[in-house]
Amino acid sequence: METLSVIVPCYNEEAVIAESYGRLKKVLDSMPSIDSEIIFINDGSKDRTAEMLSEIASQNKNVKVLHFSRNFGHQPAVTAGIHYCTSDMAVIIDSDLQDPPELIPQLIETLKRENANVVYCVREKRQGESFFKKLSARLFYRSMNYLSEVNFPLDTGDFRLIDKQVMAEFKKFREKGKYIRGIISWIGFKQVPFTYKREARFAGETKYPLSKMIQFAATAMLYFSKKPLKLATTLGFITVLIGILFAIWTFLGEIIGYTHAESGWSSIIILVIFFGGVQLLTVGVLGQYIGILFDEIKDRPEYIVEKEENW
């Protein structure tokens, strides 16, 4: 009999846990030919999420729970779920019900029909999200494809079905700042899309405010592209060229008489600010990459599991 795990990261989701579990259980019960389980990862929640998950686990032995010692983040939570998973297939899905659990049988059907290793879900529509969120997401995915050496599917999240072979390869990755959807794309094998309409949150508030979105985008870009470093080199070349042209313009101006040194304060200030800004930008880019190297060299664990239930 085939086995399936549903990996569900949770952070302060007391408003949706009961409904999320109920819908997941109903879907999994409708597939008696597959031995299934739910893996909840409590990412250091500060509300009643941990208590509710423990209660669910005590009532259903097919529900397994990992409790983190603190909040480590969404990507480490998904990583833990994959690390602990031993099934033939795994679905990664958030607990907020924006990604409908009812699509899981169709994902499995698509995986088998296409003889694929990954079925990634493409958002045809994104309900309940602001214009800014939709626009920024659109720009992010297209920017990543331009900057990265790997071609990423557009308008996708972590909601996907992966098989045992992909999970085995994923477990070999030792980098700390994981961008999971990017890593799965990088792994390769046969990956096929599945189009769906994304719903609004069932309840509660988003756990990805603007600050976390920017941090997530920076991690994805820096871990999957060296082009920002090349951009710094390009900017340096452009500024040197501008400096040479300005020097020639100033020198000729003194000879011909269309400029005077004492009247050039505005242009000097503009150039100083411009060159200073470019230097700070390039140093900042280098600093980000050095920071990544610093985190990797420390080799700290991505997450710490405080308690396991039903393992």
> Which structure tokens are listed for 277?
């800004």
User: What count of other Cβ atoms lies within 10 Å of the Cβ of residue 213?
Assistant: 15
- CA-CA distance, 133 to 139, in Å (whole number)? 10
CB 5 within 8 A of CB 36: yes
| Rounded distance between C-alpha atoms, residue 279 and residue 223, angstroms | 22
Using CA of residue 270, residue 273, residue 279, residue 284, what is the dihedral sign?
Answer: negative
158 membership: H or E segment, kind and range: strand 156-163
Q: Around Cβ 22, how many Cβ atoms within 10 Å?
A: 12
What DSSP designation does 224 have? H
- Compute and round to an integer the Cα radius of gyration of the chain: 25
Residue 2 · residue 191 · CB < 8 Å: no
What is the pLDDT, as a whole number, of residue 202?
Answer: 46
Model pLDDT, residue 204:
47
Per-residue pLDDT of the chain (311 residues; tens, 9 = 90+): 899 999 999 999 888 899 999 999 999 999 988 999 999 999 999 999 999 999 999 999 999 999 999 999 888 999 999 999 999 999 999 988 888 899 999 999 999 999 999 998 888 765 555 555 556 556 665 665 555 565 666 667 788 999 999 999 999 988 877 778 888 888 888 999 888 877 654 444 555 555 656 665 666 666 666 666 666 667 767 776 776 777 677 667 667 765 555 556 656 766 776 777 777 777 777 777 777 777 677 778 889 999 999 98
**What pLDDT is attached to residue 139?**
65
**Distances from the Cα of 71 to the Cαs of 88, 122, 216, 229, 269, in angstroms?**
29, 28, 15, 31, 46
Determine how many CB atoms are found less than 10 A away from the CB of residue 48.
14
* CA–CA dist 7, 210 (Å, integer): 25
Question: Angle, nearest 10°, between helix axes 210-224 and 180-187?
Answer: 30
SS3 assignment, position 198: strand
Cβ within 8 Å of residue 301, ≥6 positions away = none
Distance CA 302, CA 200 (A): 30
pLDDT of residue 257: 61
In this structure, what token pair is assigned to residue 166?
A: 């992909």
The number of helices, as runs of H, and strands, as runs of E, in the chain is 10, 8
**Region label for 31, one of left (φ > 0), alpha (ψ between -120 and 50) or beta (otherwise):** beta
The three-state secondary structure class of 218 is helix
CB 8 within 8 A of CB 82: no
Sequence-distant (6+) residues with CB within 8 A of 212 are none
